[in-house]
Structure 1
Amino acid sequence: MSEPVRLDKTDRRMLRELQRNGRISNQELAERTSLSPAPCWRRLKKLEESGVIDRYVALLDGRKLGMRTMAFIQLSLLDHSDGNIAAIDTFVEESPEIVECYAITGTEDFLLRVVVEDVEALERFMMQKLLKLKGVKSTNSSLVLRQKKYTTELPIPGDGL
């Protein structure tokens, strides 16, 4: 694991602004962080090069795209052989329905967040894909009724939260 990057107050302010609007111009970012454009751009490049800023993305509204069903699926493996782990890794990478995947501790091995059009699409995903995957012992699914909070903004260390 790599060491955390040291951030000063201005870096943290820049990151807060960028998490809220990744398309902010350098000029506006400089103004909001009390910098002139050139030093702002240099700091931004340093944050990108260090990997603190991983990438810039557009966040889509799944409901407006017809993706109205979300589920969390806990997955248990028959065993933890290299082959089963590799099969899960490949399956996750190749399944657009899986938007997040975590290897977890506890009685289950993985936690998946799946987004699909409707309950029927979730059933097809589970029955025709996930449960046919070699090495899967069992699943436990929770259908999301309502999303109470969703953010991609991370708390910034040193902000005193």
Structure 2
Amino acid sequence: MSINKLDQTDHKLLEILQQNAKITNAQLSKEIGLSPAPTLERVKKLETLGVIQSYHAQVDREKVGLGVSTFVTVTLTGHKKQVTESFVKQINQIPEVIECHHVTGSGDFMLKIISKDISTYQKLMLEKINEIEEVAATSTMVILSSFKESKVLPIP
């Protein structure tokens, strides 16, 4: 389903669910002005079509002992398909890598890595990331503070 096939009610549903995925169907139906049955049908349709992919609990990383966040630019040894695929396969096995983006610019990939502290981060880089055969170079930016970390998409 493309964005062009979403009507105003679908847009409103997505806005509300992104803000509060724990909202009850009864409350959701009140907010969009439909009865509960059609509201639930619309949500199920959006899930089935893959517009709504999943629901998550947002966890405070510091409260669970994850005090260091970094962005890491990774440059690969080459640009052949098997090099990229091998790197991505290995990076997906590292739980501390919470985001991996293929990018343009001075590197090939941008990773967001969360770790307990600097020494844990250093160990991760030395023993896992830099040990991936396809990695030629890395560059790290430590995130000092974050002022916006929205997971809400601006549905047009």
Give 1:1-150 correspondences, 5 Å limit: 3-4=2-3, 6-150=5-149
Q: Distance in 2 between matches of 1:38 and 1:131?
A: 53
Q: Distance in 2 between matches of 1:3 and 1:14?
A: 16
Shift in Å at residue 5 of structure 1?
5.1
Runs of 4+ in 1 over 6 A off after TM superposition: none
Checking the alignment, whether the CA contact within 8 Å between 1:5 and 1:52 is kept in structure 2 is: no
Secondary structure class of the residue paired with 1:46: helix
Q: Distance in 1 between matches of 2:19 and 2:9?
A: 16
Change (3 A) 1:64 1:25: same
Shift in Å at residue 51 of structure 1?
0.9
Deviations 1:41-70 (A, max 9, x none): 111111111111011111111111000100
Return 5+ residue gaps in structure 2 as ranges.
Answer: none
Task: Report sequence identity in percent.
Answer: 33
Whichever residue aligns with residue 141 of structure 1, its letter is T
How many residues are matched? Answer: 156
Shift in Å at residue 105 of structure 1?
1.0
Shift in Å at residue 3 of structure 1?
4.2
Secondary structure class of the residue paired with 1:22: coil
Whichever residue aligns with residue 43 of structure 1, its letter is R
Deviations 1:58-84 (A, max 9, x none): 111111100010000000011123332
Checking the alignment, whether the CA contact within 8 Å between 1:71 and 1:141 is kept in structure 2 is: yes
TM-score by length of 1: 0.92
Q: Distance in 2 between matches of 1:16 and 1:34?
A: 14
Q: CA RMSD in A?
A: 1.3
Change (3 A) 1:136 1:108: same
Secondary structure class of the residue paired with 1:94: coil
Secondary structure class of the residue paired with 2:55: coil
Deviations 1:111-141 (A, max 9, x none): 0000000011110011111111102111111
Whichever residue aligns with residue 92 of structure 2, its letter is E
Secondary structure class of the residue paired with 1:132: coil
Return 5+ residue gaps in structure 1 as ranges.
Answer: none
